[in-house]
Structure 1
């Protein structure tokens, strides 16, 4: 039998670590801390925390797209990725503005609750994945995110949000934050 395409236990542990870290950051931050600018972005700490949460929220639609394109000829996802790469500038605007509104709408308390639900659903979905589905792959718009590779599998998608989370965690300017 082939080796599993993803170490499910390691992904579960990464998801749980990120969830615990996120709650710790939210619990320890004051209102002033959350309003402080981040290091290397135009967002506040609260807005960047929402952006980090959003990386997990995106996994569901990305999984749906990959399940569709992963069953089509590879050229279909290549063309789709090229189209998305051509729209990078509008994406960047939406990507910037989304956390500004999202942080206002959810606030610190609901961000933690939403992350808990998303992580729980990802745990369940990962456990239910068939090995053959974990290997489904499609092309991605590499200009949209530094963690998108030209071709990604469903297994890769389960790792993506924590890579995104860990990268942005270093940009937070919260007290006691070890970068």
Structure 2
């Protein structure tokens, strides 16, 4: 996204909805055995990875207020904050892994879709209410935490993050799909 351009809310909302619908399709079309299978390139099972994909949307929901605050502080504060977070990358990854393992026990295939509906719906509604100036506000990010974090991200760019995260991790799923039974 070129930071000088207006944020295309319609396109972002469309991508949010695309992934929400796709998640439901995945959850409906796979067997329990397929969800218990290991994913490719991660230590998670498919079900844990699916929750982690939903968690990306939850992370954005939590980050939005933080970016609003930090973006109003002197630039040096934001840079230092990102450096401190980057220094904590190792514990972050441990918590990220085990947190997704544990959370998938609660937000399993039976609850995950509803959680995604609530979070993605809230993000979509919030996106439509954001002013253009707010969407341009941003802060430095801990680039070692996630390959889709850049050294500086605007709120508009942050709304794009969970879909990129979802699409990336979808390639690591090892699901056997079947037609849903009616």
TM-score by length of 2: 0.94
User: For residues 85-96 of structure 1, what are the structure 2 equivalents within 5 Å?
Assistant: 85-96=86-97
Indicate the residue corresponding to 2:63 in structure 1.
62
User: For residues 114-129 of structure 1, what are the structure 2 equivalents within 5 Å?
Assistant: 114-129=115-130
Cα distance in 1 between the residues matched to 2:13 and 2:5: 15
Indicate the residue corresponding to 1:15 in structure 2.
16
Indicate the residue corresponding to 1:25 in structure 2.
26
TM-score by length of 1: 0.95
Q: Say whether the 8 Å CA contact 1:5–1:155 is kept in structure 2.
A: no
Q: Say whether the 8 Å CA contact 2:31–2:176 is kept in structure 1.
A: no
Cα distance in 1 between the residues matched to 2:157 and 2:150: 9
Runs of 4+ deviating beyond 3 Å: none
Residue 5 (structure 1) shift = 2.9
Residue 29 (structure 1) shift = 1.0
The alignment yields a C-alpha RMSD, in angstroms, of 1.4
Q: Say whether the 8 Å CA contact 2:89–2:144 is kept in structure 1.
A: yes
Aligned residues: 176
Indicate the residue corresponding to 2:158 in structure 1.
157
Q: Say whether the 8 Å CA contact 2:34–2:175 is kept in structure 1.
A: yes
Cα distance in 2 between the residues matched to 1:5 and 1:135: 9
Report the secondary structure of 2:121's partner residue. Answer: helix
Q: Say whether the 8 Å CA contact 2:61–2:119 is kept in structure 1.
A: no
In structure 1, stretches of 5+ residues that fail to align are none
Q: Say whether the 8 Å CA contact 1:4–1:131 is kept in structure 2.
A: no
